[in-house]
Amino acid sequence: MLQDNHATEIAQILERYPQASKRAAVMPLLFLAQREVGFISRDAINEIAGLLDLDPTDVGSLIGYYTLFYDKPGGKYRIQICTDLPCALRGAEKFSHEVCEMLNIQVGETTEDGFFTLEEVMCLAACDRAPLFQVQGKGGIQYHENMTLESTTAFIESIREQDANE
Amino acid sequence: MLAALLKGLWTTLRSMFEPPVTYQYPEVKRPVRDRYKGRHYLQRYDNGLEKCIGCSLCAVACPADAIFVESSENTDENRYSPGERYASTYEINMLRCIFCGYCEDACPTEAIVLGHNYELSFTNRRDAIYTKDMLINPVSIAGQPTPMKVEAGQFDRAIPEMEDPK
Amino acid sequence: MSSSQVKLMIDGNTLEAPRGMLLVDAALRAGIDVPVFCYHPKMEPVGMCRMCLVEIGRPSRDRQSGEFLLDENDQPIINFGPNLETACTTRIDEGWVVYINSERALEGQKQIVEFLLTSHPLDCPVCDKGGECPLQDLTMLHGPGISRFSFHDKMNSLKRVALGELIILDRERCIQCARCIRFQEEIVDDPVIEFSNRGRSLEIVTFSEPGFDSYFSGNTTDICPVGALTTSDFRFGSRPWELNAAASICPHCPVGCNIILNTRREVKMGGSEIVKRVLPRQNEMINEIWICDKGRFAYSYAMDSERLSQPMIRVGGELEETSWDNALKVAAEGLKQSGANLLGLAGGRASNEDLYNFKQLIQGLDGVSMLNDFMAGGKQNQQIGLGPGSNLGDLGVGDAIVVIASDLLEEAPIWWLRVKQAAERGAKLIVANARFTKLEKYSAHTVRYSFGDAPETVLGMLHYVTGDSSLNKYAKVDGQEESARIIKEATNAVLFMGSEGSDSESSKRLVQACGSLLAATEHIGKANNGLIPVWLKNNTQGAWDMGLTPPEKHLAEEFRDRTALYLMACDPFGDNPEMLQELPQDAFVIVQELFHTPSVDRADVVFPAQSFIERDGTLTSGERVVQLFYPAVSPHGESLPDWKILARIGALLGVAMESTSAAGVMNRIAEDIEDYGEIHYRELMNREDQWPPVGGKQIYFGGTAYENSQGIGIRLSSRAQRGEAYEPVWKESPKKPKGEGIRIVPIVKLYDQGTTVLPSLLLAQRIGQPELVIGQEDADRLLLQNGAQVEVQWNGTAHQFPVAIDNDIPEGIVLLPRNRQLGLEMPMACNLTPVKPTSKEKGE
């Protein structure tokens, strides 16, 4: 339950909006829920709906609308490769296939060790430095530009090592 | 008068040496044309699934109101046809049927075909109603009988991609 | 020409319409069809599907004067925009020239259809909507025939997504018009379905528990312009063109929704007719084009195999099937021998014809006839009911609606819907109840009184209206003064009176108080003003009109010393098994029933009655609209309509009654009962044009609800409307016994465990187990948690229920849904004891 762990933060979020339009708090509360476990569970949807006097369907439909909300658990790190047209022209599609092969997963899947989820996303606003991906996970969002399979492998190894040390 | 009599007898005599035009039915059967419209058969695919999807378009096309169809929903445990719907009841009243072939024309899956069998006889009216068991083709060697148990999601499209029997 | 009317030209026809009307409506009123998918005349336009593209030309105006600029022929200069516009979102203005069927407009429409079909499956032969599908129809009319899009680029989505157990979604077929989502949000305010994702992957989702949790969900399938939403009872059951349509009236609540029973012959049923589905039939004065899910899905009881099919008589202690002649003879003999002290008890679900003949028979045998109910108000409804010209849909700004002691959503969902909509149009809604009900959300004012204080609350309001100081003592609840002011100032006021928390005595006081309040505020004797009792049964008002009233004393006392009992369409021994002890052992009992109820077990003679789908008859709704229902299927077994059974017994006993037809009985009623003087079957078949057009040719406009061609019924006039004076009376409340302990109050749940709902396999999952609703204080005192079992004792019987804690319930009150076998018709004192888990359960 969100309320158990984040009661003060929830109260702070709710305070920001007038009582009459408290449904506006739905986005920050969804972020909070996602930050907790990396995705938004059915229970979290129901809880947020209860907090804001909304129908769970109202809350749940938002998760589908915004691509950065997840309704299923993923890996610890989400590698998001841009495959829009300019990036594709600079070889992002091929790059994506290679990374998939290297990690032994399909787009949208998570590696066996639960570390990485690979996703293809729309424009990341760095077309000139493709192929590129952003990594979402511990430490917020990082961009990795002008990537090759070698540099990606090195990055992935470094993350795994780092995690093993912790 | 005598001349006329002789003429007639001559005709009789001559025709005795001509080949017969009649057939010794039922020992010998007169061949029918390819497009002859006899009794109906319900077709199957190679794998044994029924082509009929229970859409009742034959029944509505029938000018003699001879066809009656009731449909039900397929499940993967009890699958009769590809797609979602199959005919759970299929009856043709052969006394009403005028063998016009409109049902064949109306059928979207080419499930009902008028064959070459014209030997339809009944001793009472009830027997004139051909049920689905009587109308449906036997399963080919390659196929399985219906209902069959199939893997989930294997036949979920309305338009099947399946082989016809050769 | 008034300034609110504008003149415009559509496809060369000049027409006049109100300024600001949507172009699509204006065109249709003039008989010109505009193709639409997302637009629905009952909802706000959104312009999502773009199907209604038309060419619109607007006259040029002089910038200074605002006058039309004229060309050399003195004709206004018309400017056509560069693009086509949507007719469903455009409001008309003076001088427009519109082309709906021009080449350019048709080309636009054609391309939209082509676009909509890019990912629509070729499902028509298997689709339940095929044959009554707007997309199919408009594709035939406007479609291009050949698509420029590749077949292999079609999206393949899930074909069978159960949104709940009632409604099934086919994601491939959805054209994303949002009609269903808007219906749930705008019309019924249950936003339990929504769009998720974006663009081509937009899809409908539900997160409610259970899925698609709404009492009105079935209506979305009617207005869905494709086969994306289908009901699970009709799924792949039949093609629409194979169905026969019989007009009927929903038998589940006093609203009297107009419905259609779609039937066809089935091999599975041995070749006899079967009801395949229930659809709404348009009646803008009653149910518009909507029905609730109970009306739509709880019809299977009428075709249940458990129905009684043969008359039965008791031979040596056992019921044995016999012939009609024999059963009638035995019944007549029995009544002759032991009919000296005869009681007739009828239920409020029988038709007017049945109830009239019932009254005639019992009267002819010098017996006493009664209605198996306790709620009062039938007489007042005759005096100060709504009357002709009324329509809840007309209420709006300046009007007031009062709902007292009723949970309308559970008791009469379509009334709830229409009251809610009136409130949204601006009518001031006052909800007075002892607990929170969903209607409060739309109320201008809520009055919360303690359970059982409904009459006092109304008397308190009366105090503020009249200033009568003797009523001073009742003015003690918040909101009474404000409510009184609203009612007094309202142009029109309608008062819905329920029975929640009332017993037979307080119900009488409540209706008197309500009548006095309406009379004091002069809201009687006019259309759209007056009382509507929220009955528990569909034809309770009809029973009152036929002269049957609830027992004066408790039913148990009425049963004592009776030598014979005649039951029709009611089950007093099933409702309360304790009643068996009250009736003398040797009393002769005749029962007319549909099912083998506990009352049938006590009967000496049993007659199988016909249900509403097998016969014709009339019902009188709570608004006092008399409506006709028609036979849809052939009778079950040897069953007969109730009025006919009564007439045949009457014939054997020398009581002359109409026995030829239901219409004949109605003619007798018309002769005999003043209010029904004008009512004959011929008049009940009246029809009139209604807006919006639905069904048939206009299926894409209004949905698959049926057009009403079989009769919209007749609204009975109230006595006050006929000029008869109404004498307001009210009684002082008796001193309340200072009772210790807890009172148990029966409430109504839409999906109850009644005989007419239980056989519906579909709804079975929504009925659930009855829960005892208890307040926080009582729960704390008894150390009860949610879901804990508790034993409740009342009237000497004990029952066990799980508890549900509700903060809103005051101390000393528990609520229990009305049910059979409980013997809980009215509130009564009870004892609660928590059930200790057995040691075995504890160990686990």
Same domain, C245 and C321: no
Residue pair A130/A82 in contact (Cβ under 8 Å)? The answer is: yes
Return the beta strands (E) in C420-503 as ranges: 428-433, 445-448, 493-497
**pLDDT tens digits, one per residue of C762-807:** 888 888 788 999 999 999 988 888 989 999 998 888 899 999 999 8
Strand partners, C832: C792
Residue range A30-59: mean pLDDT, rounded? 92
**In a shared domain, residues C791 and C755:** yes
**C375 close to C535: Cβ distance less than 8 angstroms:** yes
CATH code, residues A77-165:
3.40.30.10
Residue B105: is it exposed, middle or buried by C-beta count within 10 angstroms (0-12/13-18/19+)?
exposed
At residue A137, the pLDDT reads 79
The mean pLDDT of C576-601, rounded to a whole number, is: 94
The SS3 call for residue C80 is strand
C432 has pLDDT over 90: yes
Residues of chain B contacting C130 with CB distance shorter than 8 Å: 55
Measured between beta carbons, the chain A residues lying within 8 angstroms of C197 are 64-65
Position C843 scores a pLDDT of: 41
Helix, strand and coil percent figures for chain B, each rounded to 5 = 20, 15, 65
**B53/C126 CB distance under 8 A:** yes
Q: Answer yes or no: do C205 and A64 touch at CB < 8 A.
A: yes
* Percentage of residues of chain A with pLDDT beyond 90: 65
Q: First-to-last CA distance in chain C?
A: 83
Using CA coordinates, name the residue in chain C closest to A60.
C207
Q: Which residues in chain C have their CB less than 8 angstroms from residue B156's CB?
A: 159
The partner residue sitting opposite A57, judged by closest CB among C197, C203, C205, is C205
For C176-205, write each residue's pLDDT tens digit. 999 999 999 999 999 999 999 988 889 999
**Rounded CA gap, C216 and C230, in Å?**
14
Boundary (domain end) residue, out of C86, C101, C116:
C101
DSSP 8-state symbol, C736? P
Angle at A148 between CA A145 and CA A151, to 5 degrees: 85
* Residues in chain C within 8 Å Cβ distance of A55: 190-192, 207-208
Q: Total structural domains in chain C?
A: 5
Q: What is the pLDDT of residues C809-836, one digit of tens each?
A: 988 899 999 988 888 888 988 988 888 7
- In the three-class reduction of DSSP (H, G, I as helix; E, B as strand; rest coil), residue C318 is classed as strand
Distances (CA, A) of C603 to C334, C580, C611: 12, 11, 20
Question: What are C177's two structure tokens?
Answer: 């018009």
Of C122, C237, C268, the CB nearest to B158: C122
Closest chain C residue to the Cα of A66, Cα to Cα: C197
- The answer to whether residues A32 and A1 touch, using CB atoms and an 8 Å cutoff, is no
Please check whether residue C776 is in contact with residue C482, taking contact to mean a CB–CB distance below 8 angstroms: no
* Closest CA of chain B from C335, distance in Å: 48
Chain C partners within 8 Å of B55 (Cβ): 125-126, 130, 239
Shortest CB distance from C206 goes to which of A42, A57, A64?
A: A57
Inter-chain Cβ pairs, chain B and chain C, closer than 8 A: 49
Does the beta-carbon distance from A60 to C194 stay under 8 Å?
A: yes
The pLDDT tens digits of the residues spanning B81-134 come to 988 999 999 999 999 999 999 999 999 999 999 999 999 999 999 999 999 999
CA atoms within 13 A on the CB side of C37: 26
Secondary structure (3-state) at A72: coil
Across the interface, which of A55, A56, A65 has its CB nearest the CB of C198?
Answer: A65
Helix (H) or strand (E) holding B9: helix B2-16
Residue C786 lies in a domain: yes
- Measuring CA to CA, which residue among C767, C731, C764 is closest to residue C749? C767
Alpha-carbon torsion, ordered C108, C113, C119, C121, to 10 deg: -170
- C524 and C595 both lie in a single domain: no
Quick check: C215 pLDDT over 60? yes
HSE-up of C62 (CA within 13 Å, CB side)?
A: 8
Give a yes or no: residue C737 inside a domain.
no
Q: How far is CA C179 from CA C46, C184, C219, C223, C636, in A?
A: 10, 9, 10, 7, 39
Under a CB-based contact definition with an 8 Å cutoff, are residues B145 and B45 in contact? no
DSSP letters for A73-99: ---SEEEEEE-SHHHHHTTHHHHHHHH
Give yes or no for a cis peptide into B26 (omega within 30° of 0).
yes
Task: Flag whether pLDDT at A1 surpasses 80.
Answer: no
B17 to chain C, closest Cα gap in Å: 58
Residue C739's pLDDT band, with cuts at 50, 70 and 90, is low
Residues of B in contact with C235 (CB under 8 A): 73
Domain span including residue C795: 742-843
> Across the beta sheet with C273-280, what order do the strands follow?
C244-249, C258-265, C273-280
- Asked if the model's pLDDT at residue C844 lies above 60, the reply is no
CB distance from A53 to chain C under 8 Å?
Answer: no
State the pLDDT at residue C837: 66
The whole-angstrom distance between A162's CA and the closest CA on chain C is: 36
Residue with tokens 């109306």: B106
Distance separating alpha carbons of residues C483 and C447, to the nearest angstrom: 8
Q: Identify the pLDDT of residue C1.
A: 44
B53: distance to nearest CA of chain C, Å?
7
A65 touches chain C (CB under 8 A): yes
C239 touches chain B (CB under 8 A): yes
The rounded distance, in Å, linking the Cα atoms of C485 and C325 is 63
Residues C669 and C766 in one domain: no
**Closest Cα in chain C, distance from residue A122 (Å):** 13
Identify the DSSP state of C741: S
Question: Does residue C92 form part of some domain?
Answer: yes
Chain C contact for B59 (CB, 8 A cutoff): yes
Rounded mean pLDDT of chain C? 92
Q: How far apart are CA C533 and CA C373, in angstroms?
A: 13
Q: Dihedrals φ, ψ of C741, to 5°?
A: 85, -165
Binary contact (C191, A58; C-beta < 8 A): yes
Predicted confidence at residue C737, as pLDDT, reads 66
Q: For the domain that residue C422 is a member of, what is the CATH number?
A: 3.40.228.10
Which residue among C123, C235, C266 places its CB closest to the CB of B70?
Answer: C266
Neighbours of C729 (CB within 10 A): 10
Residues C704 and C750 in one domain: no
ipTM attached to this prediction: 0.88
Residue C735 has pLDDT above 70, yes or no: yes
Contacts of B115 (CB under 8 A, 6+ apart): B38, B39, B40, B41
Chains touching A by CB (3 or more pairs below 8 Å): C
Q: State how far the Cα of C292 lies from the Cα of C188, in Å rounded to an integer.
A: 11
Residues 102-161 of chain B whose Cβ lies under 8 A from any Cβ of chain C: 108-109, 156-159
How distant is the Cα of A111 from the closest Cα of chain C, in angstroms?
Answer: 25
Q: CB burial class (10 A; 0-12, 13-18, 19+) of residue A11?
A: exposed
Q: Two tokens at C833?
A: 């004891």
Q: CB count, 10 Å around CB of A3?
A: 11
CA atoms of C707 and C689, how far apart (whole Å): 9
Q: Would you call C207 and A57 a contact, using CB atoms and an 8 Å cutoff?
A: yes
Residue C175 binned pLDDT confidence (cut-offs 50, 70, 90)? very high
Q: How many helical (H) and strand (E) elements, i.e. helices and strands, does chain A have?
A: 7, 4
Same domain flag for C293 and C158: yes
DSSP string, B20-81: P-S--TTTS-----TT---SEEE-B-TTS-BS-----HHHHH-TT--EEEEEEE--SSSBSS
pLDDT digits (tens, 9 = 90+) for C496-522: 999 999 999 999 999 999 999 999 999
Structure confidence by residue, pLDDT tens digits, B27-70:
999 889 999 999 999 999 988 999 999 999 999 999 999 999 99
Hey, where are the domains in chain A?
2-65, 77-165
Q: What's the CATH fold of domain A2-65?
A: Arc Repressor Mutant, subunit A (1.10.10)
Name the closest residue on chain B to residue C129, using Cα atoms: B55
Give the Cα separation of C726 and C718 in Å (integer). 11
Q: In this predicted structure, what is the pLDDT of residue B64? A: 96
What is the average per-residue pLDDT within A65-82? 89
pLDDT(A140) > 80: no
B and A touch with 3+ CB pairs <8 Å, answer no
- Portion 190-219 of C in contact with A at CB < 8 A: 190-198, 203, 205-209
Q: CB–CB of B72 and C242 under 8 A?
A: no
Summarised one tens digit per residue, pLDDT across range C54-91 is 999 999 998 888 889 998 888 899 999 899 999 999 99
Residue C840, pLDDT above cutoff 70:
no
Best mutation target among B62, B84, B86, B92 (most C Cβ atoms within 10 Å) is B84
Residue C732 lies in a domain: no
Token output for C630: 């028609």
Judging by beta carbons within 10 Å of its beta carbon (0-12, 13-18, 19+), is residue C524 exposed, middle or buried?
buried
Which is it for the CA torsion B97, B103, B105, B111, positive or negative?
A: negative
Structure tokens at A142: 């990082």
pLDDT at C796 (0 to 100): 81
Q: Give C121-150 pLDDT, tens digit per residue.
A: 888 999 999 999 999 999 999 888 888 888
Cβ separation A42–C207 shorter than 8 A: yes
Closest-CA residue to C216 (of C138, C115, C308, C287): C287
Q: Do domains A2-65 and A77-165 have the same CATH topology?
A: no
Of B101-105, C295-299, C303-307, the least confident: C303-307
Vertex C23 angle, CA C20 and C24, to 5°: 135
Chains A and C touch (3+ CB pairs under 8 A): yes
Neighbours of A145 (CB within 10 A): 14
Contact status, residue B142 vs residue B26, Cβ threshold 8 Å: no
Average pLDDT, stretch C331-359?
A: 95
Q: Is the model more confident about C269 or about C364? A: C364
At C332, give phi and psi (nearest 5°).
Answer: -65, -45
Cβ–Cβ < 8 Å for C499, C405: yes
Band (pLDDT 50/70/90 cuts) for residue C553 is: confident
Do C509 and C403 lie in one domain? The reply is yes
* Residue among C605, C46, C73, C581 at smallest CA distance from C315: C605
CB-based contact (8 Å) between A50 and chain C?
A: no
Average pLDDT over residues C578-587: 92
Q: Single out the residue of C563, C560, C591 nearest to residue C358, CA to CA.
A: C591
Touching chains, B (3+ CB pairs < 8 A): C
pLDDT of residue B157: 77
Percent of chain C past pLDDT 70, that is, above it, reads 98
Rg over alpha carbons for chain A, rounded to the nearest Å, is: 18
In angstroms, what CA-CA distances link B54 with B84, B155, C236, C244, C442? 10, 16, 9, 19, 48
Over residues C686-711, mean pLDDT = 92
Contact C122 B159 (CB under 8 A): yes
C599/C324 Cα distance (integer angstroms): 20
Pairing of strands C588-593, C273-280: unpaired
Which of these three, C35, C69, C101, is where a domain ends?
C101
Model confidence band, residue C369 (pLDDT cutoffs 50, 70, 90): very high
Give all chains having 3 or more CB-to-CB distances under 8 Å with chain C: A, B
Quote the pTM value.
Answer: 0.93
State the fold for domain B40-151. Answer: Alpha-Beta Plaits (3.30.70)
How far is the alpha carbon of C130 from chain B, nearest alpha carbon, in Å? Answer: 10
Q: How confident is the model at residue B165 (pLDDT cuts 50, 70, 90)?
A: low
Q: C206: which chain A residues are within 8 Å (Cβ-Cβ)?
A: 57
**Domain CATH for C822:** 2.40.40.20
How many of the other CB atoms lie within 10 Å of CB of C823? 20
Contact C191 A42 (CB under 8 A): no
